[in-house]
Amino acid sequence: MDFPRHDTEAAQRTRDNIARHAEQARDWHLADLFRDDPRRFETLSHQACGLLADLSKQRLTSETLDLLTELARARGLEHWIHCLFDGGEVNWTEQRPAMHWRLREDPQRAPDVHAQLTRMERMVKRIHSGQWRGCEGDAITDVVNVGVGGSDLGPLMASFALSEYRPEQGQRPRLHFVSSMDGSQIAPLLDELNPATTLIVVSSKSFTTVDTLSNAGTARCWLQDAFPEQNGAVLRCHFIGISAQPSRMGEWGIHEDNQLQFWDWVGGRYSLWSTIGLPIALTVGMDSFRELLAGAHEMDRHFIESPWDRNLPVLMGLVDVWNLNFLDITARAVLPYDGRLKHLPAYLEQLEMESNGKSVTRAGETVDYHTCPVIWGEVGPNAQHAFYQLLHQGTQPVACEFIVAARHSRRSGNAVGSGQLVEQHQLTLANCLAQSRLLALGEAALPNETHLPPFKRYRGNQPSTTLMLDELTPRHLGALLALYEQKVFVQAVLWGINPFDQWGVEMGKQIARDMTQVLESGDGGDTLDSSSRALAERARKLRG
Ligand code: F6P
């Protein structure tokens, strides 16, 4: 690999050293590394904020981490961490800071943030207590979050993960999430809902995203058709808006009292801690929502204060760089062994790939090394029966990430005995540990299995990290998500890229606008490539 040309001499020297070290590492097998060092787990696992990160099943040694740490130092990580937490312009292509970490600070340090949280709390309490009424005077039974990307994935993931927690008081409404622009989610949902008892939350940082505005428009028509005489009351009683653009919310028709704000310095994919987290607070109540923030804040402090040799975001960032840039492992599978974390892979796909899927450095140079790996995932036990075959016997190296809670902590499931559920948790944990062991050691994990025919052989040596949470609570989830956010930042510093913009997505939006015109009127079709023109023409013809 080759890092940016403006690299310091120290950085160049270090990466040459790492490259030489990686040449040796190519011959390592995890089975040998474990056999040769009985204390490997003790040396290569670290704990913070109720999380344990076991890096011992990665294809590396302490020397590897030392070398990578040197590289991080030479690439100015310390300076960039200060810059992030001092509110420096880390998002240089949009000339602004990235201060999502401020959303989890205390009221003295972030009074503006807490003023909005207090507004949100009032709304949450009114909904839970049945005081928020629809235009016909009914209490709200269903809330629909209309948003996409960061205005959907974070709230959806965390609400689902914590749905066993309940508000301190009152009744929580049923929550629904609508993101897809094609109407395939909103249409069947509205068929089921009662307009008199439904509240729509329109979540959009920019309040210009067509996906969200088209779904919100459909919901507005549905409500206006249901209550044709009450246009003002419909908007007043059935819509909340959340955005960094209050004037656009107002123009769309969101009543001033129903507007929640956040700020330009919060990236969409980093926004679940802000008022965008309203669905989470509706699910678990404000006390638990604040616990989520507290867990994330604790991880921020750990990131700022801990020495790098036991700093989880730094270490995990270094491991990813090692795998991608030095061992050429270009894919990573996120495998939660907990159905409650079902939406975590999709959330991380956005967080990591939208942040670090970049190829131009701070100096404006095109990189000639890989940045973000391809990330995908699925709930582990289900994935075992789907794509694990490729992990075990396929031809591609894949770095795996296992996420599991050590303690069973189910709060619901009263219909079945808790003993039964403890047993199921145990089974899941056993499978998680068995899979990471088999991936690492291959057939050496089963010493009695000798003389296997070629098609049954397991070569192993697939590296993995296991993240073990003490328990899945709001606080632990907050810490876990902040760990990922800060890890993404560490990697971006090593790669010399901006993790806080997403210009690649912006151009897609612009082209889609032009294409809409071609589909509507045919105008502009002659400027298209032959494939796009033919497809557009065919669709126009078939639609009549
Ligand atoms: O299209 C990408 C993106 O800008 C994401 O970064 C963002 O989370 C999503 O769209 C939604 O944007 P908004 O919250 O402004 O509607």
Nearest to 384 by CA among 457, 456, 435, 331: 435
Q: pLDDT tens digits for 9-51?
A: 888 899 999 999 999 999 999 999 999 999 999 999 999 999 9
Interval between CA 277 and ligand 1 midpoint (Å): 15
Q: Tell me the average pLDDT across 158-179.
A: 96
Interval between CA 362 and ligand 1 midpoint (Å): 23
Interval between CA 253 and ligand 1 midpoint (Å): 21
Q: pLDDT tens digits for 367-388?
A: 999 999 999 999 999 999 999 9
C-beta separation of 113 from 123 below 8 A: no
Q: How far apart are the first and last CA of the chain?
A: 54
Q: What is the pLDDT, as a whole number, of residue 506?
A: 86
Q: What is the pLDDT, as a whole number, of residue 30?
A: 98
Nearest to 80 by CA among 461, 437, 500: 500
How is 47-106 classified by DSSP, letter by letter?
EETTEEEE-TTSS--HHHHHHHHHHHHHTTHHHHHHHHHTT---BGGGTB---GGGGGS-
What is the atom index within ligand 1 of the atom nearest the CA of 271? 8
Atom 2, ligand 1: residue with shortest CA distance: 505
Percentage with pLDDT > 70 across the chain: 97
Q: Tell me the average pLDDT across 150-158.
A: 98
Atom 6, ligand 1: residue with shortest CA distance: 268
Residues with C-beta less than 6 Å from any ligand 1 atom = 148-151, 204-206, 209, 212, 268-269, 354, 502, 505
pLDDT of 460 above 90? yes
pLDDT of 6 above 80? no
> With bands split at pLDDT 50, 70 and 90, how would you rate the model's confidence at 543?
confident
Interval between CA 392 and ligand 1 midpoint (Å): 36
Which of 179, 502, 503 is the best mutation target for the ligand 1 pocket, counting ligand atoms within 8 Å of the beta carbon and taking the most?
A: 502
What is the atom index within ligand 1 of the atom nearest the CA of 206? 15
Percentage with pLDDT > 90 across the chain: 86
Which of 94, 148, 208, 355 is the best mutation target for the ligand 1 pocket, counting ligand atoms within 8 Å of the beta carbon and taking the most?
A: 148
Catalytic, out of 298, 352, 354, 485: 354
pLDDT of 114 above 60? yes
3-state secondary structure of 469: strand
What is the atom index within ligand 1 of the atom nearest the CA of 354? 6
Mean pLDDT taken over the chain: 95
Interval between CA 150 and ligand 1 midpoint (Å): 6
Interval between CA 151 and ligand 1 midpoint (Å): 7
Instruction: Out of 31-35, 166-170, 223-227, pick the least confident.
Output: 166-170
Q: What is the pLDDT, as a whole number, of residue 510?
A: 83
9 part of the active site = no
342 part of the active site = no
Which residues in 136-228 belong to E strands, given as ranges?
Answer: 142-146, 174-178, 198-203
385 part of the active site = yes
What is the atom index within ligand 1 of the atom nearest the CA of 203? 14
Q: How far is the C-alpha of 485 from the C-alpha of 317, rounded, in Å?
A: 10
Q: Tell me the average pLDDT across 66-73.
A: 97
How is 98-156 classified by DSSP, letter by letter?
--GGGGGS-TTT-HHHHHHHHHHHHHHHHHHHT-SB-TTSPBP-EEEEE--GGGTHHHH
Interval between CA 169 and ligand 1 midpoint (Å): 33
Q: What is the pLDDT, as a whole number, of residue 3?
A: 45
- The secondary element (H helix, E strand) that includes residue 468 is strand 464-469
Q: What is the pLDDT, as a whole number, of residue 237?
A: 98
What is the atom index within ligand 1 of the atom nearest the CA of 268? 8
Q: Which residues contact 14 (CB under 8 A, 6 or more apart)?
A: 67, 70, 71, 74
Q: How far is the C-alpha of 283 from the C-alpha of 280, rounded, in Å?
A: 5
Q: What is the pLDDT, as a whole number, of residue 2?
A: 43
Atom 9, ligand 1: residue with shortest CA distance: 149
Atom 1, ligand 1: residue with shortest CA distance: 505
- The secondary element (H helix, E strand) that includes residue 239 is strand 239-243
pLDDT of 412 above 80? no
Q: pLDDT tens digits for 209-222?
A: 999 999 999 999 99
Interval between CA 449 and ligand 1 midpoint (Å): 51
Catalytic, out of 385, 451, 520, 541: 385
> With bands split at pLDDT 50, 70 and 90, how would you rate the model's confidence at 401?
very high
What is the atom index within ligand 1 of the atom nearest the CA of 243? 14
Q: What is the pLDDT, as a whole number, of residue 5?
A: 47
